[in-house]
Amino acid sequence: MATVKDVAKLAGVGSGTVSRYISGTGSVSKKSGEKIARAIEQLSYRPNSMARSLSSRRSDLIGVWVPSLEGPYYHMMIRTIESALRLQGKHMILANAEDAQSNEDRLAHLDYLINRDCDGILISSSLQSEFELARYAEKFSNLVVMNHHTEELAGRCFSIDHDLGGRLAARHLVELGHTRVATITGRLSALDARQRHVAFLDEMAKLGHPVAPERIIEGAFSYAGGEQAVAALLASGTDYSAVFCGNDKVAMVLIAELHKRGISVPGDISVLGYDDVEFTPYTAPALSTIHAPIEEMSQSACRQLLNLTYGLDLPYQEHFEPSLSVRRSTGPSRA
């Protein structure tokens, strides 16, 4: 296996020059750099990543914190981030807080990433308060937040307009003639779930069809939480012709349960989801949903973190608008 000394000998330069070229620290003339590059290629030399990180004081590691790994939402996010990092020769350490029992547990996962010498950290969180996020941003400057918006972290927060998403959902169902609409929310302690829910209720009221309290079921963005919420809605005895679900997983659970009971979708009940994750075209019927630009947001957040951490100048944007994806699970009201 070739060494730095071998590269230096073939290139006709000193070992220190080769080390500076590999680490990117210090000056190396263009001529010497070209000789070193040719020598590296001829010898198939692979720099020792640990030694390189010690010399540059960088690990080339980016920490990614997510609250869960269940379902396609976070899979799409993580896949997008990993791809963006790989293009820049960086790698990912993932912290999953799904088993966290308290806010302190969730924050401990951030400390774990900091203690692993990550150069930067990406957080996907709608649960942490603005104060907590700002406090961690002071503690660790190379920190970027997804799915959250606060002026305290301008330039480091990347968000989707969930207020608009909730209103698009209400308008779609009312345009189809649905006046008796139920909704299954996500966990309303989460900012994004609360934003879309409040906007949905407000828009329904503005359109002249307020949602009755008995038609509102608070759920969670998990399959188990979806099953419980769907069971509660179907057992409530309330009358409705359409259901707006806080995410696509819950909508899929609802469609499956309605099918078991011989209830036609959308003939008897229309079902509208939220997020537009990968499986939505393949449910039966294909799921109408609010498209949240998850991958675009994740890519932009990752690019800005790379800019802040490594002095790059990659293009990015901070705010994204959802849109309506109409498929076959919503149709005209027959009431």
Query: Which residue type is seen at 296?
Result: E
Same topology between domain 4-56 and domain 61-160+294-320: no
Asked whether the beta carbons of 158 and 297 are under 8 A apart, the reply is yes
Mean pLDDT score across all residues of the chain: 87
Q: What is the mean pLDDT of residues 154-165?
A: 92
Looking at per-residue pLDDT, the higher value among 187 and 83 belongs to: 83
Model pTM score: 0.80
CB-CB contact of 242 with 269 (8 Å): yes
Task: Write out the two tokens for 271.
Answer: 């079902």
pLDDT in tens, 101-116: 566 766 677 778 877 7
CA-based Rg of the chain, rounded to a whole angstrom? Answer: 25
Q: What is the CATH number of domain 4-56?
A: 1.10.260.40
Domain ranges of the chain: 4-56, 61-160+294-320, 162-293
Class of CATH domain 162-293: alpha beta
Tell me: domain 61-160+294-320, CATH 3.40.50.2300, correct?
yes
Percent of the residues in the chain that have a pLDDT greater than 90, as a whole number = 55
Task: Please spell the DSSP secondary structure of 280-301, one letter per residue.
Answer: GGGSSSPPEEEE--HHHHHHHH
Q: Per-residue pLDDT for 173 more than 80?
A: yes
How far apart CA 326 and CA 304 sit, in angstroms, is 32
Contacts of 120 (CB under 8 A, 6+ apart): 62, 63, 142, 143, 144, 305, 306, 308, 309
- 110's tokens: 């951030």
